[in-house]
């Protein structure tokens, strides 16, 4: 057991921390949000120069051969600064599908482009009726000779409006909610059959509604056995989201405690009041439990057995979601009115934490799922 | 970063498990599986077996008979005992008083007390709390006045766990009433057979006798029983309390109770179906399991940090372990009682034998309410959960 960072990991975290401290202050972030795409092209290039965008790919394919732990460490820093770039959909979701399911020659073609910052990815999954169910897929993929053609509609595609290539889940066989018969396909976002409507999300990010009208796609893995791959990538994504949430919570909590030391009412700092001290301590408990759970998230995502992995990921979502809700809500409450304002950073962390919880299923969804599967501990 | 146990640690776990399976008396295991506290005989018998194996004093340095384990090994050992379930080595002896004597005691004291502590030849109890000194421990009033080669002790201790089984007490007394609160306190070792000591039982809400009041009426304590310097006893007390880094998390014990809960809920009918199939009940169990998993990882983090630390300063995150660990144990005890439904009504000391003699309820249900009532103590003792929050706010958040 070792919770210390290796030298390479420390180097990675330190250089990213320096970059974001210099160039991702809250004020700078506001400017990035107001720009045309809603995020910073320059920062994206800076990530590429740092090597962040090739991180999880094998070296022989043009990457840096890092693992999930490194990706998660990056996610935590991204969370601390509420970054707006399409890092998560490209490096966690898109890259995950390429790593687990793309033929090597496709990876050799795409990875150098991704690593250089030229190619961004997204994952089109949710449909109007599906809510959080990964297996509820109506969008269809049909085979015409050598070619697969996709028709249907996907929603809430994170950064779907800036992606160059999009991984889409589509039904190749069976009924809408069957676990079998789902395929994964890589499509070109610029194909004329694509209609992409981008919009702003509550956390200041971007997402898109996408219609597929006879769009050709390259199959990633078994065209009828895509669900296990989706679940695997989602387990990794849940680990990254956990780290990101811990980064957000840590900043929100710290900000709150510092505010309590300086804000004076009744002639003394509000941090001297025990009722508020205990609330801050409870926030710390929630944060520490979340941090512990984020470590478990990496362990769970690396599990060989898919069922164990799924249970583990569900448990992570429950803990992180609950901690995030408590820390987020209380950071607003303990600040008071100031945190209700758009100019103050705290509320933005709260909004991101709120949205983070509902990516790939919120705490309630996963609690129900985990309970139905019999929980984590075996009966005596 | 690697969050898993090493192959050596996994092999060690197996070694411990094999030893317990081979050596733990089945009657003790049966008794404890039902949630009862082990009897004095069970604890003594088991600790002597552990001591013969060199495992009774995991926290002690090798030169004093400790096994030289890493923090991870200590944790694994404790967890396996809790999961068996088997008695822990008596905490008063091996986790509290022993380490204080090792750190502050004279060679004489070490030779005289440590081997008997390890083998549980002497049962120790802790004389800290007083009627007027609970969370505010340093306001204790029990007086010790030096007269020649003796201290004369007068006063009262309370909540003294298993004082009625004890041969010795380690206690905090006030030796200088004029000094500042923390500065006039000394750490004394007292023979419970000394004239002038009266032990009076306190019966707790579930009907059990675990804690006591202990009265001191001109009790003569030889000065060689002073540990450390006179008026420096608070250092010993702080050291003792700071040693408790992950013991109160009791992850293994909670996991064992959850396993038991699931098995019982599978046998109990609710609406004609096994209770475990009720989504609400199952969800309540799952909520606890998730918290327990996070707690387990928190313990690992403390252990990993522990492996590298040099100083003995208390670690504020141990407050997280205390608060969460006790909340989880209390929540599990409540669900166990709920699982029994109306069969939890039967009154009686949960530790007593044969209390279900009229067969009015399934055997397994007996005492579950008692344990639930009794375990409310967990968030009060060992520094109440509110005191833990004070510590976090001050030591960690700087508020």
Each residue's pLDDT tens digit, A189-206? 999 999 999 999 999 999
Out of B260, B301, B305, name the one closest to residue A292 (CB).
B301
Contacts of B280 in chain A (CB under 8 A): none
Closest CA–CA distance from residue A106 to any residue of chain B (Å): 31
Q: How many CA atoms lie within 13 A of B275 on its CB side?
A: 20
Q: Does A261 touch chain B (CB under 8 A)?
A: yes
Out of A278, A290, A371, name the one closest to residue B283 (CB).
A371
Out of A4, A293, A375, name the one closest to residue B294 (CB).
A293
Nearest CA in chain B to A270: B399
pLDDT per residue as tens digits for the range A40-61: 999 999 999 999 999 999 999 9
User: Between residues 99 and 158 of chain B, which touch chain A (CB distance below 8 Å)?
Assistant: none
Confidence of residue B360 (pLDDT cuts 50, 70, 90): confident
Confidence of residue B311 (pLDDT cuts 50, 70, 90): low
Contacts of A243 in chain B (CB under 8 A): none
Nearest CA in chain A to B2: A2
A37: its two tokens: 């795409």
- Residues of chain B with pLDDT > 70, as a percent, come to 95
Q: What is the model's pLDDT at position B51?
A: 98
| Chosen CATH of B124-232 out of 3.40.50.300, 2.40.110.10, 3.90.1570.10, 3.40.720.10 | 2.40.110.10
What's the average model confidence in pLDDT over B388-392? 93
Residue A375: name the closest of A312, A295, A297 by CA: A312
B154, β-bridge pairs: B143
Q: Does A380 touch chain B (CB under 8 A)?
A: yes
**CA distance linking residue B36 with residue B30, whole number of Å:** 9
Tell me if B189 sits within 8 A of B125, measured CB to CB: no
pLDDT per residue as tens digits for the range B60-98: 999 999 999 998 899 999 999 999 999 999 999 999 999
B271: its two tokens: 């609406």
For chain A, give the number of residues: 380
Q: Which residue has the tokens 């890493």?
A: B70
Report domain A228-372's class.
mainly alpha
What superfamily would CATH give domain A7-119?
Acyl-CoA dehydrogenase/oxidase, N-terminal domain (1.10.540.10)
User: What are the DSSP calls for B300-350, one per residue?
Assistant: HHHHHHHHH--S-PPPTHHHHHHHHHHHHHHHHHHHHHHHHGGGGG--S-T
Give domain limits for chain B. 7-89, 124-232, 244-396
Q: What is the model's pLDDT at position B157?
A: 98
Nearest CA in chain B to A277: B393
Out of B283, B303, B397, name the one closest to residue A284 (CB).
B397
Report domain A122-225's class.
mainly beta
What are the backbone dihedrals phi and psi of residue B168, each rounded to the nearest 5 degrees, phi first? -140, 155
ipTM score for this prediction:
0.94
**CA distance linking residue B35 with residue B351, whole number of Å:** 8
Structure-model confidence comparison of residues B346 and B174, the more confident one: B174
CATH of domain B244-396: 1.20.140.10
Closest CA–CA distance from residue B226 to any residue of chain A (Å): 38
Q: Which residue has the tokens 């030391």?
A: A261
Domain(s) of CATH 1.10.540.10: residues in chain A: 7-119
Domain(s) of CATH 2.40.110.10: residues in chain A: 122-225
- Under-70 pLDDT residues of chain A: none
Q: Does B309 touch chain A (CB under 8 A)?
A: no
Paired sense of beta strands B150-157 and B143-147, if any: antiparallel
pLDDT per residue as tens digits for the range B201-212: 999 999 999 999
Checking if the pLDDT of B9 tops 90, the result is: yes
Could you tell me how many CB contacts below 8 A there are between chain A and chain B? 155
Residue B378: name the closest of B172, B123, B204 by CA: B204
For chain B, give the number of residues: 399
Q: Does B283 touch chain A (CB under 8 A)?
A: yes
User: Between residues 1 and 20 of chain B, which touch chain A (CB distance below 8 Å)?
Assistant: 1-6, 9
Nearest CA in chain A to B267: A379
Checking if the pLDDT of B256 tops 60, the result is: yes
Q: B262 and A289: CB-CB below 8 Å?
A: no
Q: Does A147 touch chain B (CB under 8 A)?
A: no
pLDDT per residue as tens digits for the range B120-135: 999 999 999 999 999 8
Residues of B with a known catalytic role = 244
Contacts of A271 in chain B (CB under 8 A): 397, 399
**CA distance linking residue B94 with residue B116, whole number of Å:** 11
User: Between residues 198 and 227 of chain A, which touch chain B (CB distance below 8 Å)?
Assistant: none
* Cis amide linkage into residue A242, ω under 30° from 0: no
């Amino acid at each position: 057991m070792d919770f210390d960072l290796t030298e390479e990991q420390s180097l990675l975290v330190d250089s990213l921390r320096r970059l974001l401290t210099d160039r991702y202050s809250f004020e700078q972030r506001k400017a990035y949000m107001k720009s045309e795409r809603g995020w910073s092209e320059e920062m994206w290039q800076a990530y590429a120069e740092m090597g962040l965008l090739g991180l999880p790919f094998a070296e022989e394919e043009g990457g840096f051969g890092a693992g999930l732990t490194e990706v998660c460490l990056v996610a935590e820093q991204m969370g601390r600064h509420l970054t707006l770039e399409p890092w998560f959909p490209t490096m966690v979701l898109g890259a995950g599908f390429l790593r687990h399911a793309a033929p090597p020659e496709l990876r050799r073609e795409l990875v150098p482009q991704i690593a250089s910052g030229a190619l961004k990815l997204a994952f089109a999954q949710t449909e109007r009726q599906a809510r959080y169910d990964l297996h509820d897929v109506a969008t269809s993929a049909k085979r015409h000779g050598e070619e697969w053609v996709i028709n249907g509609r996907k929603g809430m595609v994170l950064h779907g409006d800036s992606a160059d290539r999009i991984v889409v889940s589509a039904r190749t066989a069976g009924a809408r909610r069957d676990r079998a018969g789902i395929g994964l396909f890589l499509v070109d976002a610029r194909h004329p059959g694509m209609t992409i409507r981008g919009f702003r999300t509550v956390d200041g990010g971007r997402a898109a509604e996408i219609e597929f009208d006879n769009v050709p796609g390259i199959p990633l893995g078994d065209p009828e056995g895509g669900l296990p791959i989706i679940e695997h990538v989602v387990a990794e994504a849940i680990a990254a989201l956990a780290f990101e949430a811990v980064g957000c919570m840590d900043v929100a909590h710290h900000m709150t405690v510092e505010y309590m030391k300086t804000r004076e009412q009744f002639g003394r700092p509000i941090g001297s009041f025990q009722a508020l001290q205990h609330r801050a301590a409870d926030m710390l408990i929630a944060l520490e439990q979340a941090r512990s759970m984020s470590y478990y998230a990496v362990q769970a995502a690396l599990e060989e057995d898919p069922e164990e992995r799924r249970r583990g990921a569900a448990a992570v979502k429950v803990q992180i979601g609950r901690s995030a809700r408590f820390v987020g809500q209380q950071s607003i409450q303990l600040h008071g009115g100031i945190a209700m304002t758009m100019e103050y950073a705290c509320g933005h962390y709260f909004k991101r934490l709120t949205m983070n919880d509902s990516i790939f299923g919120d705490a309630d969804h996963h609690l129900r799922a985990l309970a139905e599967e019999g929980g984590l501990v075996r009966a005596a | 970063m690697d969050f898993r146990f090493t192959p050596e640690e996994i092999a060690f776990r197996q070694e411990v498990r094999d030893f317990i399976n081979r050596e733990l008396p089945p009657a003790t295991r049966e008794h404890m599986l039902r949630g009862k506290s082990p009897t004095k005989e069970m604890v003594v018998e088991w600790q002597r077996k552990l001591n013969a194996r060199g495992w009774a004093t995991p926290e002690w340095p090798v030169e004093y008979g400790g096994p030289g384990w890493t923090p991870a090994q200590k944790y694994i050992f404790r967890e396996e005992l809790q999961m068996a379930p088997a008695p822990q080595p008596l905490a008063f002896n091996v986790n509290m008083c022993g380490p204080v004597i090792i750190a502050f005691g004279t060679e004489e004291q070490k030779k005289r007390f440590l081997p008997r502590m390890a083998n549980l030849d002497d049962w120790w109890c802790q004389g800290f709390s007083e009627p007027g000194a609970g969370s505010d421990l340093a306001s204790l009033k029990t007086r010790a006045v030096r007269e020649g080669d003796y201290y004369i002790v007068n006063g009262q201790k309370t909540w003294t766990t298993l004082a009625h089984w004890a041969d010795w007490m380690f206690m905090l007394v006030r030796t200088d009433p004029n000094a500042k609160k923390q500065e006039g306190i000394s750490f004394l070792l007292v023979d419970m057979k000394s004239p002038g000591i009266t032990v009076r039982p306190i019966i707790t809400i579930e009907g059990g006798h675990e804690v006591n009041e202990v009265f001191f009426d001109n009790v003569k304590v030889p000065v060689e029983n002073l540990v450390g310097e006179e008026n420096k006893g608070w250092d010993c007390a702080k050291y003792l309390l700071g040693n408790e880094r992950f013991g109160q998390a009791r992850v293994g014990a909670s996991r064992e109770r959850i396993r038991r809960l699931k098995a019982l809920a599978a046998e109990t009918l609710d609406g004609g179906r096994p209770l475990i199939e009720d989504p609400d009940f199952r969800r309540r169990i799952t909520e606890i399991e998730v918290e327990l998993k996070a707690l387990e990882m928190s313990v690992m983090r403390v252990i990993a940090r522990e492996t590298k630390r040099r100083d003995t300063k208390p670690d504020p995150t141990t407050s997280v372990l205390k608060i969460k660990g006790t909340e989880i144990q209390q929540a599990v005890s409540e669900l166990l009682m709920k699982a029994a439904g109306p069969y939890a009504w039967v009154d009686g000391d949960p530790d007593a034998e044969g209390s279900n003699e009229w067969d009015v309820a399934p055997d397994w249900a007996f005492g579950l309410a008692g344990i639930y009532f009794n375990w409310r103590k967990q968030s009060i003792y060992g520094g109440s959960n509110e005191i833990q929050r004070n510590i976090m706010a001050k030591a960690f958040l700087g508020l």
